[in-house]
Structure 1
Amino acid sequence: MQTYIVLLRGVNVSGQKKIIMAELRKIIENIGFEDVKTYIQSGNIILKSTIKDPKEVASKVRNEIFASFGFDVYVLVKKYDELKLIFDNNPFTSPIDIENKKVYFALLEKEPKLEIIDEFRALKFVNDQFLVKNDCVYLNYLNGAGKAKLTNNLIERKLKVSATSRNYRTMIKLLEMAK
């Protein structure tokens, strides 16, 4: 039985794509996943499955959300070790920035093409620091995420891959729940 961390993009944001987490847990259990847990309202799920391919897990969850709630959401699935590696490679480790909720992770569907990454690295954002490494854009929003210019939508558009972002504390909690 494999433990997966399932991340939904864009649910329960500004009244859009509303999903009650208790309902979400129920529908996910009904399609055969076990030990389903959710964390906060932004679409963070921990589950267990005998399915070996994370993309198959993502597809099943995405299809069931569409069937149950009537809208499509991007679903990213990671194994514990994958998410832990991403977390451990975070270059933004200032306790002050972490405490002030400035450190984020934009988790990418796949590693972008090298030439696209090079173009992206050339971008300058006065108050947003970032590092692209493998399938993550590490972010340090010096003025906070609410004032950031380097948004998840911009990351997706420039890198030409789907992404979903989580803050430092959420990453810690997901790793704790999945362990």
Structure 2
Amino acid sequence: MRYIALLRGINVGGHKKILMKDLRDLLEKSKLLNNIETYIQSGNIIFESKKSDIENLQKEIHTYIYNKYHFEVSVQIYNKEEWDYFFKNNPFLEENELHINRLYGTFMDKCPSEQNITLLEKVDFSPDTYQIDNNLIYTYYANGAGRSKMTNTVFEKKLEVSSTSRNWKTISKIQELLSN
């Protein structure tokens, strides 16, 4: 099966630095994953595995990274079908006036509770907007993500989840790599 693993918070501002070549080498030596590809330095790993227990795969990748680099990195894994769903169901893609470089996807480690979603809905992020679909958040940053109050940290605190975000260009490239 083909999978995508998203690592949270590596190579950001010089912290938790991991070269993707070194990460590929580490995971290849583990014999845990096959046909490993990485995409850019933000921790996107496309791979195949005979293992189908995603939770166990996440733990094993986390452990290999921790043992090598001695820091915690959250790992989220999605199979190709899950990624296809996310890619094809972005509600903001239908709006013609949106700039593709302002679209992002936020991937949560679990589905947030209805109570926490209600708490998040009370926060005014305008002109930015979001839509939650299970453990995914589609986001649109009207003036760019760097100027927004709508951040991963806010999502994590209000929804009580761990999350990582990717811009739509990265999501699209990963979709292409998963389909090859």
TM-score normalised by structure 2 residue count:
0.94
Secondary structure (helix, strand or coil) at the match of 1:92 reads helix
Write the deviation string for residues 19-62 of structure 1: whole angstroms up to 9, x where unpaired: 00000000011111110000000000001111111111111111
Cα distance change of structure 1 residues 98 and 35 upon mapping to structure 2, 3 Å threshold = farther
- Corresponding position of 1:66: 66
Kindly state the Cα deviation for residue 121 of structure 1 after the two structures are TM-superposed. 1.8
5 Å matches for 1:27-106? Answer: 27-32=26-31, 33-93=33-93, 94=95, 97-99=98-100, 101-106=101-106
| Aligned pairs, number | 177
Please identify, of 120-129 and 64-73, the stretch whose mean Cα deviation from structure 2 is larger. Answer: 120-129
Match of 1:16 in 2: 15
2:3 is matched with: 4
SS at match of 1:169: helix
| Whole-angstrom distance in 1 between the partners of 2:70 and 2:140 | 35
Q: Which runs of 5+ in 1 are unaligned?
A: none
> How far 1:122 moved relative to its partner?
2.4
Find the counterpart in structure 1 of residue 123 from structure 2. 123
Take 2:36 and 2:25, find their aligned partners in 1: how far apart are those partners?
8
Provide the C-alpha distance between the structure 2 equivalents of 1:135 and 1:146, rounded to a whole number of angstroms: 23
Following TM superposition, by how much is the alpha carbon of 1:126 offset from its aligned partner in structure 2, in angstroms?
2.0
Give the Å deviation of 1:178. Answer: 1.2
Aligned residues of 1:37 and 1:46 also touching (Cα < 8 A): yes
Give me the whole-angstrom Cα distance separating, in 1, the residues matched to 2:130 and 2:61.
Answer: 30
Q: How does 1:148-163 map to 2 (within 5 A)?
A: 148-163=148-163
Once the two structures are superposed, what CA deviation does each residue of 1:121-165 show, in whole Å capped at 9, x if it has no partner? 222112211111111111000010111111011111110011110
Q: Which residue of 2 aligns with 1:114?
A: 114
**1:7-30 residue CA offsets vs partner (Å, 9 max, x unmatched):** 000000000000000000000111
Q: Is the 8 A contact 1:98 1:168 kept in 2?
A: no
Q: What stretches of structure 2 of length at least 5 have no aligned partner?
A: none
Pairwise CA RMSD: 1.1
Runs of 4+ residues over 4 Å off in structure 1: none
